[in-house]
Structure formats: structure tokens, C-alpha cells
Structure 1
Amino acid sequence: MATEADSTDEIDWRSEASSVEMSRRERLREFGRRWIYEPAVIAWADMRTRIGLLILSVYGLMAMVEVFGLWRNPSTNQADPLLKPFETMQFPLGTTQSGVDLLALIIDSTPFILLMVLAGGVWATGIAVLVGTVSGYKGGTVDNIITSISDFFMAIPGLPLVIVLAITFKPENPIFLGVILTINYWAGLGRSIRSQVLSIRESSYIEAARTMGTSTPRILLKDVLPNLMPYVMVNFVLAARYTIFASVGLYFLGVLPYTGQNWGVTLNYAYERGGLLTMEAFHWLLVPIVAIVGLTFGLILVSQGLDRVFNPQVRTRLTGESESIEEESDTTTSGLM
């Protein structure tokens, strides 16, 4: 038979398990509020973020249309040559000299472009953040070694290096191509981040964290990186823009293989067939230019809007408002009881 002590122990065990479960729920709720809800509210409050996300969602929609095959294949000739934009709604952006749908060409290129831009931006900023934060915070021998490596890559001319690598490997994979295009872009950005970290590490709260015995990875993640994020986000967009322009330029020059999956190929064909000289083919040249500028503009707007997300004053104000709302709700509830 179970004794009263056993029943009491079982109740205590269940109570302890319940408290642990609740604490986990509270931690999960706090994580969602701090890292998902608050950044989303702050970002959405900025008009630039809303416009930028709207522009980028258009490109995301075009990528989904291409992935699921919801638009016509651009390799088939289905119309008269050099139709003007909106001359017929079946081909809203017009056609090329061969009668190929220009909208189909742009949609066909979008998934390739987005993957390439993401790979180039993540590679360049990721390596730069890792190199810059470690070098700036650790100092000493580590700083000297990393700085020497960065200086070596900065001394190599970027464009000739990219051209040589592109001719050697002839990359057709968008992720591999994005990495090649930004192969040494991280070096200059890493030096800039290092200079930012050098000033941050002398701050009083960093000194306090070190005095309390906080580990280096925790200091970098909790105290250093949040202060760098506005700068990192802007440079991520710059790296993505550089990837777009570099790829389009190399495709235009014929350095990269003509896979038909890049707006630079469309630009090259339009230029060679008089798109810059005749009004009949000018739209053929204009459509990929608008696609390039639109994607770049959307990325810039989002990066400018996200700058507020990492602004501690805005985050503190939002936290204070949410706490005051909760206190007011608690007071109202207690008054009704």
C-alpha cells in the first residue's frame, strides 16, 4: 500500500515537473517575443520595409512560378518578333527578335539570380563577420595573422581574379557562381568590421562582462554582434548588389557560359541586335535593366528598414510600451475581480 509520504513525494515530483515545463514555455514565449514579434513589429512600422518586401515578394512569386512551371517555356517561339510591351496581354512585356516572350525570359532567370545573390551575400558577409569580430576582439597574434591574410586577399585585383576563376571553372551552379563572384569581397568588409569591434570592445559593458567571467563566444554573440548588425545588413545588401552587377557584366561580356538563366544574357542579345540603337528593340534592352534595378532597389529598402530593428532605442521603447500595456491589463483585471 502506498504511504502518505509516497503520495506527498509524487505530488512534489509532479509539481516540480510542472514548474520546469512552465519555465520552458516562458522561455520559449520570451524568445518568440524578443526575436520574432518585436523585430517584425519594428520592421513593419517602417514604410521602406513594407515597400521593399513587396518588391522582393514579386521576385519570390516569379521564382515560384518558374519552379512549378506555371508560365510558358521561353525556348519556344510563340509570337511575332519584337512585339512592344502591352501590345498584347498574352505577351505583356513584349517579345524578342525571335518572338520569345520577354516575361518568360525574366521569370526563367529569377530562381537562378536569387540563389546566386543569396549565396554571394551570405558568403561575403559571413566570412567578413567571422574574420572581423574574432580579429578585432582577440587582438594580439590572432589579429596579426588574420589581418595579414585579409591584406593578401585585398591586394589581389578582384575583377581579374573572378574572370580567371570563371573561365577556369565555367560555373553553372548559382551557389558556386555566387561564391566565385565574391571570392575576395569579404576582405575589405572584414577590415571595416574589425575597426568597429576595436571600438566596441573598449565599452564599459564589455569590460563588465569580461570581469564577470563571461565566455568570449557569449560576449561576441550577445554584446558585440547586435551592435554590428545594422552595418552588416547594409553591407549584405551591397554584396548582393555587387553579385548581381558582376554576374550581369560577365554574362554580358561572354566570360560566363550562356545558360540562358541570367538577365545579362538577355542584355547581351538585345545589345548585339540593336536594342540600344533602334526603338523597335529598345524594350528588349529595357526589360532586364528594370528587373536588375528593381531587385537591387528592393534589397536596399529592406536593409534601410531593418536598421531600426537593431536600434536599441527603438527596441527599448517597444519593450516599455508592451510592459505598460501588460501592467494596465493586469490592473484592469484586478479591479474587475
Structure 2
Amino acid sequence: MVTETDSSSPDDIDWRSETSSAEMSQRDRLAEFYEQSIYEPAVVAWSDVRTRLGIVILSVYLLMALVEVLGLWRNPAPNQAPRLLAPFVNMQYPLGTTQSGVDLFALIVDSTPFILLMVLAGGVWATSVAIVVGTISGYKGGTVDTVITSISDFFMAIPGLPLIIILAIALSPENPILLGVILTINYWAGLGRSIRSQVLSIREASYVEASRTMGTSTHRIILKDVLPNIMPYVMVNFVLAARYTIFASVGLYFIGVLPYTGQNWGVTLNNAYNQGGLFTLEALHWLLVPIVAIVGLAFGLILVSQGMDRIFNPRVRTRLTGKSESVEEESDNENTSAWV
């Protein structure tokens, strides 16, 4: 009987062990990324009632947008319902109807995808440019800071509303993404100056000095040391930029500056006002429904931004994810011994 023996050489064994360790390290990195970037933020965010309420509100708007994009809801059509039907009288038209017999709930659903894209584009544009400008200017200093600050001051000196009106009339934007960028065309300048002030104080911190002493690159210092400390401020200002985009677009649609393409909450407000929604009780709901939609979206964004502060606060994050129990126990023991 012949016994089979392992003919693998030591080099093959070393190669296999190195491959296994590489696979394990990659798996560990993925697990660490999931825990730090997904699980822990979710736990911290969900622990705040404001975040839960804000997510519920925003989920309603996202659901309406999804329903409209997938074509699961009827498009608003005139003369298909009783005119100026009050809300909650007929559940087929839960929010009532307009002077032309258009379902107001269908109007709101039809407008939601356009509004969400516009708000997202405006908020992302304003905060992204402000982060780049503010962090580079504040951290680098010197000539770079002088040049960037001068450019920011120039854009801040331009009156925002007249500039937006001129661009809106000249370009007649129908794309929601382009419209969001136009509405926040110079909003980034003031936010960039504020972020610069935050970075000026952060760059003198001891941990940033230690990173520079160790030869860490500027790019890595900004990503690892600077940005996490200004993210709560950035998130709040992202929401402010998004809310500004909502109000600016509705106001410009209301006064007729922006083109009436499709349905929009501002267009609905304009139609309601022109047809007596402000002066007759029968048409008052026509005016109130888009106002409630506007306020609800802004309120949901504010609640989520307030909850985001917990995610970027390291002390709150470690406490809520259960990583500081030993520290808390030690502090409790110290307090007990002090009382004794």
C-alpha cells in the first residue's frame, strides 16, 4: 500500500499563507468599513427622535417621487373631478381639487421629482464648492488664501436675486439640475468664507500639527483631520442651501420669472392666488396644499441635519455605539471614590 505524501514545497506553503492572510486582511477591512461607515452612523442617527421623524418625512417625499417616476399614479388632468372640491370630502381626491377640477394630490406628486432633483442639485453645488474653497483657503494660507478669498468676496458682492433673475430669463432653464445650480450660483461664497474660518482654527490643533510633523500629505490631513470636524457645520449649511433653493424656486415661479414647464409647487401657488385662493374660503385649500408641501420638505431636511450632528460628534458616537462603556465605568468608579 502506497501512502500519498504532500509534495508541496516550502515556497508553496509560504505563498498560500500569504494569500490567506491577504484575503483575511481584505475581509477585515471590509468589515471595518461596514462597521465604521454604515452600521455605527445608522445606530447613532436612529437613536435621535429628530432624525427618525425627519427620515419619515423625507421618505414620504421620496415615495411620491418614486411613484411618479414609475408611472404608478395618474397624471393630473382637468375636468376629471368636481371643481374646488374641499379636502377629505372625497377620498378619491384626498387633498381636494382646483378650479379646473384637477386633483391637488396628483399635482403635488407630479411636482415632487422635479423639486427633489432641483433641491439636491442646489445643495450639492453650493456646499461642494464651499468645502473645496474654504478648506484649501483656510489650510494653505498665504497667496492661495488671498486669491481664493478675493474671488469669494467678488461673488459675495454680486446681488444674488438680480443675478438669478437675469440668468433665469436668459437661459430659461427647464432642467431641474441646471435650475438648482442657477438658484445657488453664488450661495457658495458666503459659506466658503465661513468654512475657511473654521479651518483656520482647526489647522492649529495639536493633532493636525502632529500629522504635519509625521510628514502626512496635505490631501490626507484635509480628508482625515479637517473635514470630519467641519462636517456638522457643513451638513447644517447643506440643509440651509437646500431650503433656500426650495424657497427661491417657488418665489420665482410664483412671480413668473421661471418658465412654466409642467407642474411645480410655485406654479400651483400662482394659479391659486390668481384665481382667488387668498380671498375665498372655497379655494383656500388650493393655496394651502402646496404651502404645506413646501414647509414639510424644509422641516424634514432641518430635522435630519440636526440629527447628523450626533454622527460627526465622536464622543456621542462612541457612547451610543457602546464603545465607551469602560470609560464610563471608570469615571463612575472615580466619582464614587471621590464621594467616599
Tell me the TM-score normalised to structure 2 length.
Answer: 0.92
The structural deviation recorded for 1:77 is 2.6
Residue number among 198, 201, 204 corresponding to 1:199 in the alignment: 201
- Give the distance between the partners of 2:230 and 2:153, measured in 1 at CA: 22
SS state of the match for residue 281, structure 2?
coil
Gaps of at least 5 residues in structure 1 are: 325-337
Give the equivalent residue in structure 1 for 2:154: 152
Structural mapping, 1:109-258, within 5 Å: 109-258=111-260
> Equivalent residue for 1:100?
102
Deviations 1:224-262 (A, max 9, x none): 000000000000000000000000000000000011331
SS in structure 1 at match of 2:310: coil
Matched position secondary structure for 2:260: coil
1:59 aligns with 2:40: no
Q: Deviations over 1:98-129 (max 9, x none)?
A: 00000010000000000000000000000000
Give the distance between the partners of 2:122 and 2:221, measured in 1 at CA.
28
2:9 maps to what in 1?
7
Distance, in Å, in 2 between the alignment partners of 1:318 and 1:259 is 47
Select between 73-82 and 295-304 the one with higher mean Cα deviation: 73-82
Q: Relative to structure 1, is the Cα distance of residues 18 and 284 closer, same or farther in structure 2, using a 3 angstrom cutoff?
A: same
**Structure 1 letter corresponding to 2:314:** P
Cα deviation 1:47-86 (Å, max 9, x = unaligned): 0000000000000010011111111111343101100001
Give the AA of the match of 1:304: Q
What amino acid does structure 2 have at the position aligned with 1:302? Answer: V
Equivalent residue, structure 2, for 1:332: none
Structure 2: which 5+ runs fail to align?
A: 327-340
Query: Given the alignment, which residue of 56, 81, 84 partners 1:82?
Result: 84
With over 3 angstroms needed to count, the CA separation of the structure-2 counterparts of 1:32 and 1:323, relative to structure 1, is farther
User: Which amino acid letter does the alignment assign opposite residue 134 of structure 1?
Assistant: I
Which residue type is aligned with residue 210 of structure 2? A
How far apart in 2 are the matches of 1:15 and 1:318? Answer: 38
2:74 aligns to what SS in structure 1?
coil
1:36 aligns with 2:67: no
Distance in 2 (CA, whole Å) between partners of 1:224 and 1:134 is: 11
Q: Residues 24, 322 of structure 1: CA spacing in aligned structure 2 closer, same or farther, 3 A cutoff?
A: farther
Q: What is the distance in 2 between the residues matched to 1:286 and 1:93?
A: 10
Query: How many residues are paired up?
Result: 323
Matching residue's letter, 2:140: K
Out of 18, 41, 45, the position equivalent to 1:16 is 18
| Alpha-carbon distance in 2 for matches of 1:50, 1:287 | 24
Aligned match of 2:318:
316
Distance 1:5-1:121 versus aligned 2 partners, 3 A rule = same
Cα drift, residue 323 of structure 1: 8.4
Quote the residue 1:330 is aligned against.
none
- Aligned residues of 2:86 and 2:285 also touching (Cα < 8 A): yes
Please give the secondary structure, in 2, of the residue aligned with 1:309: helix
SS of the equivalent of 1:82 reads coil
Q: One-letter code of the match for 1:177?
A: L
What is the deviation of 1:6? 4.9
Tell me how far apart the structure 2 counterparts of residues 265 and 138 of structure 1 sit (CA, whole Å).
Answer: 46
Alignment CA distance shift 1:320-1:84 (3 Å): closer
Residue in structure 2 matched with residue 327 of structure 1 by the alignment: none
1:282 to 281, 284, 294: 284
Question: For 1:192 and 1:266, how far apart are their aligned partners in 2?
Answer: 36
CA deviations over 1:143-186 (Å, ceiling 9, x no partner):
00000000000000000000000000000000000000000000
Distance 2:23 2:72 in 1: 47
TM-score (norm 1): 0.93
